[in-house]
Each structure stands twice: as structure tokens, then as C-alpha cells.
Amino acid sequence: MQEKVITKNIQISLLLVATIGIMSGITVVASLPLMSHTFSDIPHIEFLSKLMLTIPSIMIAIFAPFAGHLVDKWGRLKPLYIGIVLFVIGGSSGFYLENFYAILVGRAVLGLAVALTMTSTTALIGDYFEGEARHKFMAKQGLAVAIGGILFINAGGLLAQIHWSYPFAIYIIPLLFLPFMMSNLFEPQKHKHNEEFVVESNCIPIYVTAFFVMVLFYLLPTQLPYLIVNTLGGQPQTVGFVIATAMTFNALTAMQYAKLKAKLSYMQIYAATFSLFSLGLFLIYYADSIHELFYATAFIGMAFGMLFVNTNSWFLSQVPPAKRGRASGLLTSSFFLGQFASPLLFEPIVSAYGIQTLFLLVSIVSGSVAIVLFIKTRSN
């Protein structure tokens, strides 16, 4: 079995790459309100500043299926390493560019990079691990993503206090661990590449789920900073602390995934997580001070500690090795299409009723989904 030769250094390399996905957006969250003040002469800048998070998402959504084709055709490692180099170039552009629209172009390059790295990594995990070993590694990956989120959101918040552009320098970090990955990762056994690709019908519900999971998750980085800074009078650093609380509980629950999966089905895990998410959003709706947000985001973090890991694990259990690259590309596309769509879908509600009302409405929807899933799993 291939997992017998998977060393600790290989696992560390994969976990380092996993943090790139969370780094791509969350690092500059605290800078968004400050950017909107700096470029206040640009019409609709508050909305446009949110595109700093979502422009990479639409680029990933468009390019990821093509990236998946490359991963199946070229192998897993070449697209991965190209993606990391592009990540550093595009991600750090906000650190040294002063034109708002030029920075948006850099964010588009960042999107291309994440499409390559995430698609390659998902395929590698599917190739390296099987069965229970995969569930255990997915738990580790969830933990690594959460810890990365804690570090990057706090570092970004602290640096944003000095200047809005400084958090963009964090995107240079992956260049430091590129040599370590190149010396440890190996190309898996190549499967026969088939130019014809038909979407597996059993993966369609997974792609739809991935889309909606990310639509919901991106409520936090796209809406919460404005609630904290503009409504509750917090500082950019406070944004980091609040979202870091969610990431902390994300890490704690992700660690337990393998144990939960041994007892519960994928649908039962979804039912539990949507219940937690609904509760967290409901608490944000009622919050009238920043300290109340810490309790609310704890429940949200617990939910997302399971949601992403569960979706990836469900996906890898359904896809044959020869189609893993392109199927992973479609999964990555689904995740980030949801990330791009999140502020667009919710902006009319925010404009008409305010951010806290948005949290209430999404809480009701999430709770309804949890009830439906619970009834369905009980009947099965």
C-alpha cells in the first residue's frame, strides 16, 4: 500500500501546502476597511474592496477545471510548484503596488496559483492515502488549515495596524518552504490519462455542497469586519482576534474528524455542523458588543472544522484515481465559485436590511437544512 511509504516529512509538506488555501483570502481581511478609507475617492470602494477576497475566487473557479486537466496530464508536482511561485508573485503584489486596480490584477494571478496548488494537493492526498489513513490525514489537514488561519488572520491584523499594505507581505512565506517540499514529495504512480472526461454523477451533490459551504463560510471574512469596525466600533486587530476564535474551535473539532467519521455518516456530520452554524449566526444577530461575537464565532468555528474536512473526505471516497485531477479541479472550482458568489448574493440583503439581519436570515436557512438532513438520516 502506498501509505506505508508516506513519511512524516511528506505529511508536513502536504500540510504546509494546505495552509495556502486559507492564506489566500483571510490574510488581508483586516486591511479591507482600511483600504476602503485609503481609496475613498473610488466610487463604491467599500464593495470593490471586498473584491480583494473574491477576485481570486472567480479566477480559481474558472481555471481550476483546466488545472485539474493539467494535474492528470502532467502529474501532480509540476503544477503544484508552478502554483506556489505564482502565489508568491500575485499574493504579495499589494505590498509593493499602490494602484488599487493593479492590486486587483495581482489578486487574479493569486487565483490562478491557488487553482493549481489546491487541485494538485487534493489529488496527491487521494493518491497517497486510502481508507482510515485518509480520514486521519484529513483531520490533520483540517487542523493545519485552522492553525494557519489563526496565525495569518492575527498577523494580518497586527500588520494592518501599521499599514494596510503590510499583510500582503505574508504571501512571500510559501517561498521559504518550497525547497523542503521539493525534496520530500514524490510523484505518485501515473494512471492512464484519458482525454475524455465525464463528470461523475455521484460527485454532483458534492460539488453543490462545496459551493454552498463556501458561500456560508465567507460570511465571516467579507461581512464580519464591517460589523466589527463600522457598527461595533472595533479596531482592525479586533477582526483578527474574533475570526481567530472561530479558527481555534475549527482546529479543535477538525482533530476529532476521524473519530466522528467512524461513528457517523457523512450526512449525519453535515446535520450536526449546520446546526452549530445556525446557532452561531443567530448569536451574531443578537450581539450588541464585540465580546458577544467571540461566543458566536466559537460555534461557527466548530461547524467549519467539520464541514470542509467532511466534504473533501466524501469527495475522495467517490473518485477513481485516473480521474482524480480533473474531478479535484471541479471540486476546487465549486468551493471558490461559492467564495466569489458570497458577497454578491448577500450584498442586496446587507444594503436593504443591514449585516446583522443577514446573519439572522442565513441562520434560519442553515437551521432548516440541518432539520431536513436530520430527518433524512433518521429515516434512512
pLDDT at 236: 67
pLDDT at 372: 94
Residue 27 DSSP code = T
Whether the pLDDT of residue 197 is over 60: the answer is: no
CA distances from 126 to 13, 167, 205, 312, 323 (A): 15, 33, 19, 10, 11
- Domain membership of residue 190 (yes or no) is no
Task: Return d(Cα 268, Cα 306) in angstroms, integer.
Answer: 11
- Domain membership of residue 207 (yes or no) is yes
Task: Return d(Cα 151, Cα 228) in angstroms, integer.
Answer: 20
Query: What average pLDDT score do residues 199-210 get?
Result: 82
Tally of CA atoms within 13 A in the half-sphere of 257 that contains its CB: 33
Whether the pLDDT of residue 4 is over 80: the answer is: no
- Is 321:191 a contact under the CB 8 Å cutoff? yes
Burial (CB count within 10 angstroms: exposed 0-12, middle 13-18, buried 19+), residue 302: buried
- Domain membership of residue 222 (yes or no) is yes
pLDDT in tens, 285-341: 888 888 888 888 889 989 988 888 899 889 888 887 777 788 888 888 898 888 778
Whether the pLDDT of residue 345 is over 80: the answer is: yes
Whether the pLDDT of residue 1 is over 70: the answer is: no
CA distances from 109 to 9, 60, 115, 152, 161 (A): 29, 9, 10, 20, 26
pLDDT at 196: 54
What pTM, to 2 d.p., does this model score?
0.77
Residue 36: domain span: 2-185+202-379
Query: What average pLDDT score do residues 93-120 get?
Result: 91
pLDDT at 194: 53
Task: Return d(Cα 194, Cα 57) in angstroms, integer.
Answer: 28
pLDDT at 198: 54
Helices (H), the chain: 8-26, 32-38, 45-74, 77-91, 93-96, 100-128, 131-162, 174-184, 204-217, 219-226, 236-254, 257-263, 266-286, 290-316, 324-353, 355-379
DSSP string, 175-191: HHHHHHHHHH--PPPPP
- Domain membership of residue 192 (yes or no) is no
Whether the pLDDT of residue 180 is over 50: the answer is: yes
pLDDT in tens, 244-293: 788 888 888 888 888 888 898 999 999 999 999 999 999 998 888 888 88
pLDDT at 192: 54
Residues of the chain above pLDDT 70, percent: 95
- Domain membership of residue 173 (yes or no) is yes
- Domain membership of residue 76 (yes or no) is yes
pLDDT at 106: 93
Residues of the chain above pLDDT 90, percent: 29
Task: Return d(Cα 316, Cα 320) in angstroms, integer.
Answer: 8
pLDDT in tens, 12-56: 999 999 888 778 777 887 787 788 888 888 887 877 887 887 788
> Whole-number mean pLDDT of the chain?
85
CA distances from 281 to 22, 236, 248, 341 (A): 21, 21, 17, 19
- Domain membership of residue 197 (yes or no) is no
Here the CATH number for the domain that contains residue 311 is: 1.20.1250.20
Q: Which three cell numbers stand for residue 168?
A: 500582503
The phi, psi pair for 197, rounded to 5°, reads -135, 125
Whether the pLDDT of residue 58 is over 50: the answer is: yes
Query: What average pLDDT score do residues 203-215 get?
Result: 89
Q: Which has more pLDDT, 380 or 364?
A: 364
pLDDT at 2: 46
pLDDT at 3: 42
**What is the count of structural domains for the chain?**
1
- Domain membership of residue 224 (yes or no) is yes
